[in-house]
Structure 1
Amino acid sequence: MAEIARLSGCSSWIDLDFVERERTLRQLMELGIRLHLSELSLSNTVRELDKFGVQRSRKAVHDWIHKCDLQSATDASPNHVALDETVIRIDNQQYWLYAAVAPKSNELLHIRLFSTTTTALTELFLQELIEKHDVENAVFLVDGAKHLQTALRRSGLRFRYEKHGNRNAAERIFHEIKRRTSTFSNCFSHAKLSTAESWHQTFAVWHNATN
């Protein structure tokens, strides 16, 4: 058990209330979730769990992560918010990943995955962000994308064009998300958009908890 504790660290952000039958010790389920989100593929996570005498399939580990339905914290009040979008590929399909980051804390405030990008979807993303956090008085940092600026203007939010500086926080997170998405491509084979988005939102919770 000492070895489990050493590897698992703080797991207070993982809610396993969905578990009905404890075929696997909760500590080991938490460990599997943490290992996969932190770096390991599903196959390597299964191999690590096997060292503790736990024999579970890749699907079982994937289901743990999906069912625990991790949600990022709410009620942050940042002075600045870096807003950006990027294109990622999942199972040979192109998607647009939206993210809002608090540059000072490097916290992912909100993240969504869409099959296209429009001003209306950007406004939807901003509305969800406003409902989760106190950002009405924040200054949003954006690049030259006109639809981002238009959506912010329509939402009554202040923004400032910034090519580098504090927007680098969002760029660094996007770089890491793209790397993880590519590494964990086996998670998304024939996956629905909602499944891929759930994984990215779970990644956001892990990122904030371990940042």
Structure 2
Amino acid sequence: MSLSNTTDLLEALGVERSPKAVHDWVQKADLQPESGRSPNQIALDETVIRINDQQFWLYAAADPETNNLLHLQLFATTTTALTEIFPRELRHKHDVETAVFLVDGAKHLQTALQRAGLRFQMRRHGNRNAIERIFRELKRRTSSFSNSFSHVEPKTAESWLQTFARWHNATN
């Protein structure tokens, strides 16, 4: 939902707030998916999204058993060194030491997991499809998001993506 749609909805409910106030609320909220989970498997992938005609790489991890997003992060570029940040942060949020990561053929994902000492299996189908379904929905929504907001900052896009993750987990 865009900021103007949100302010219109709030106004219909009798709450008058500016788009700036709503934006500030979103920025202050802790919208990353909840921490403290201990999944057996984690579907891990990346996808390219566009923000203001620029490419960004969105990394996401999902629990295929519950279809919940565990963590997501947006990067302006993709390198093995940057990829290593993602499992490190995921490890701080969740107990992933015994989990098996399900990845596609992306060598930089496999290298980052190997360097982190985490187990992984290369899979293109099966439980790994959970992250692909989430990415399809995310891309459908980010396409609308990118077209609705001109000159959006990547930080704002990442906040929106974290809000999406929180909503996605709540509706599962």
- TM-score, normalised to structure 1, is 0.75
| Partner SS state of residue 197, structure 1 | helix
Q: Is the 8 A contact 2:80 2:108 kept in 1?
A: yes
**Correspondence 1:65 to 2:33:** no
**Correspondence 1:135 to 2:96:** yes
**Match of 1:120?**
81
Q: Which has the higher contact order (CA 8 A, sep 6+)?
A: 2
**Match of 1:182?**
143
Q: Is the 8 A contact 2:50 2:146 kept in 1?
A: no
Equivalent positions of 1:70-109 (< 5 A) are 70-109=31-70
Percent same amino acid at aligned positions? Answer: 69
What is the alpha-carbon distance in structure 2 between the residues aligned to residue 104 and residue 127 of structure 1?
22
1:82 maps to amino acid: A
Equivalent positions of 1:163-174 (< 5 A) are 163-174=124-135
TM-superposed deviation, 1:187: 6.5
Larger displacement relative to structure 2 (95-104 or 48-57): 48-57
Please say which structure displays the higher CA radius of gyration.
1
- TM-score, normalised to structure 2, is 0.91
Aligned-residue CA RMSD in angstroms?
A: 1.8
**Match of 1:154?**
115
Aligned residues: 172
2:9 maps to amino acid: E
TM-superposed deviation, 1:72: 2.1
| Partner SS state of residue 130, structure 2 | helix
Note closer, same or farther for the CA distance 1:155–1:65 as it changes in structure 2 (3 Å cut).
same
Give 4+ residue runs of structure 1 displaced > 4 Å after superposition. none
Larger displacement relative to structure 2 (139-148 or 197-206): 197-206
What is the alpha-carbon distance in structure 2 between the residues aligned to residue 188 and residue 48 of structure 1?
18
Q: Give deviations 1:109-159, integer Å, cap 9, x for gaps.
A: 110000011111111111111111111111110111111111111111111
Larger displacement relative to structure 2 (66-75 or 104-113): 66-75
**Correspondence 1:53 to 2:14:** yes
Q: Gapped runs of 5+ residues in structure 1? A: 1-35
2:5 maps to amino acid: N
**Match of 2:168?**
207
Note closer, same or farther for the CA distance 1:171–1:197 as it changes in structure 2 (3 Å cut).
same
TM-superposed deviation, 1:207: 1.6
Q: Give deviations 1:69-97, integer Å, cap 9, x for gaps.
A: 32321111111000000000011111000
Note closer, same or farther for the CA distance 1:156–1:188 as it changes in structure 2 (3 Å cut).
farther
